Structure 1
């Protein structure tokens, strides 16, 4: 059986029983804007960090295609995470998610240790499997084997990032040296499942600090959460395992505007947003990261969320 996930102070700051924290997904762009000025994005992240957002999320999008629904050009996640580590002080930095099946796990381990070191232990390693068969082919991988590859890479990565870090080589001759990672992280690097990676919830509950899912309507999300709680009860009954979601948000400049669904989220005013988030907290959600869109300026939306929404949920 796999070893239990690592506990780390930064994980407890983002995920805690009976609490809901709020994060921000980068880049923040207006609707129909596909080109990001990443110097502005780093400045916005620094601003959000100072205002009290608990986490800053960075995606891993290796390649773009005209067939892919997200046309945004994303920086390599390790480059952006390194910049964020040097320009923020309190917020967790979370990969949402490194494509575990398309990167060698030892390269991921080196990146994770490096970011954790620069961020003084504020890094949480979110991991996913990717969902585009053509991208697997571009990297010489068999998409049909992604489930087994995800499991194997997770175990190699977990061994490398454990407090008693050990390197599990793909191949080793009898006279091969023993390898190790330096520098070691300031804190253990928590590993978080983003999506299912083709695995069962029982597998995830045994190995991950939590399960980050994509937005669903409340009834479907409640069923998802019940599935997760049952898996945690079976596999880690004495441990806390987080449950979170990524939600698209178009924040209206009318505070009283009712919530209406958009793809993977809502358009809403702040009053209805607070009500929705309170209901999510009561239902057992521990973290929500906003993927902001709409026509308003990003800093204006971030300021409104910090002034009018975060105080309902963040106690410090």
Structure 2
């Protein structure tokens, strides 16, 4: 029997997850836990590709909900983060083909420094390779000198972010279409193939220079940096108010990226560090419970270089922390 016309536009043997991937990561009254890549041992700033794939596979098998991949094209001695990140699309493609259940999230593709149609093509490709496990996190970048390096106008980033978001949304949404920058007389129509398995969920990572109302209206949720409890609670309250204004009764996710130095001593109390805590696992569970109670739906853990091997840390987290939240 000949294939239906619609089937000819889709990748072969690419059936989507039965449950939308965003609901496995973000769910009301629940908190899930993910990991930021790369996971590096002490003193290493350039990721070993094969080791990252092996750690990703182990995180997948242990039940972590998401792997987060950053978009950091350039390094500078002036930047506080010395890590040499792999290109996000290359790494996401490899993760898609080497993992089975875990969500893959870009945290975040710099929407203002890449053409939106290239972003859409990458998102559809990763979604296809991962069979529906991709969440497209988008940001505007927080390093102004990079705008100059790429010949972009940093002063225009807010408007550029909105325009590019619209173009990506059209291309990866439920009725995919290409919005060209220009369409001279006689120009052909364009499509992006393969078609998305389903609309690619789009997540705001940081504010992108936009209001919380704009984010609540256009994104499945908002991912922010860690703040101390009172400041984070105020931010969450602002978010909930925005959701009720623009999408009353609808679910919009709220998540945070948390830097974690996990102590060998499980009873070590939590001590604040930049964007997170140094803590033993017992105090970590308490902090995560508090986040859940205050309405946080996902925490992505950033494990900085430390004397502990990354594999040892994720094994301990899987044995003693994940069962508190992933049941």
Question: Which bin holds the TM-score, normalised by the shorter protein?
Answer: over 0.9
Match of 1:147 in 2: 158
2:42–2:308 contact (8 Å) kept in structure 1: no
1:172 to 179, 183, 189: 183
Matches within 5 A, 1:5-20: 9-20=20-31
Q: Which runs of 5+ in 1 are unaligned?
A: 1-7
* CA distance in structure 2 between the aligned counterparts of 1:91 and 1:187, rounded to whole angstroms: 17
What CA RMSD, in Å, does the superposition of the two structures yield over aligned residues? 0.9
Match of 2:213 in 1: 202
1:194–1:213 contact (8 Å) kept in structure 2: yes
1:127–1:192 contact (8 Å) kept in structure 2: yes
1:194–1:212 contact (8 Å) kept in structure 2: yes
How far the C-alpha of 1:30 sits from its partner, in A, is 3.3
1:137 to 114, 128, 148: 148
* CA distance in structure 1 between the aligned counterparts of 2:238 and 2:213, rounded to whole angstroms: 9
1:87 to 85, 89, 98: 98
Match of 1:24 in 2: 35
1:209–1:241 contact (8 Å) kept in structure 2: yes
Tell me, what secondary structure is at the counterpart of 1:12? Answer: helix
2:53–2:98 contact (8 Å) kept in structure 1: yes
How far the C-alpha of 1:33 sits from its partner, in A, is 2.8
* CA distance in structure 2 between the aligned counterparts of 1:81 and 1:38, rounded to whole angstroms: 12
Give CA deviations for 1:64-111 in whole Å, capped at 9, x if unaligned: 111111110001000000000011000100000000000000000000
1:126–1:192 contact (8 Å) kept in structure 2: yes
1:308 aligned to 2:320?
Answer: yes
Give CA deviations for 1:157-209 in whole Å, capped at 9, x if unaligned: 10111111111110111211111110012222100000000000000000000
Matches within 5 A, 1:175-254: 175-254=186-265
2:47–2:86 contact (8 Å) kept in structure 1: no
Aligned length: 308
2:59 to 48, 52, 67: 48
How far the C-alpha of 1:148 sits from its partner, in A, is 0.4
How far the C-alpha of 1:262 sits from its partner, in A, is 0.8
Match of 1:4 in 2: none
1:66 to 48, 73, 77: 77
Match of 1:266 in 2: 277
2:56–2:67 contact (8 Å) kept in structure 1: yes
Match of 1:124 in 2: 135
* CA distance in structure 2 between the aligned counterparts of 1:238 and 1:32, rounded to whole angstroms: 48
1:277 aligned to 2:297?
Answer: no
1:299 aligned to 2:311?
Answer: yes
Tell me, what secondary structure is at the counterpart of 1:196? Answer: coil
2:173–2:198 contact (8 Å) kept in structure 1: no
1:150–1:197 contact (8 Å) kept in structure 2: yes
Structure 1 segments (4+ residues) deviating >4 Å = none
Tell me, what secondary structure is at the counterpart of 2:223? Answer: strand
* CA distance in structure 2 between the aligned counterparts of 1:263 and 1:204, rounded to whole angstroms: 26
* CA distance in structure 2 between the aligned counterparts of 1:138 and 1:90, rounded to whole angstroms: 38
* CA distance in structure 2 between the aligned counterparts of 1:43 and 1:292, rounded to whole angstroms: 16
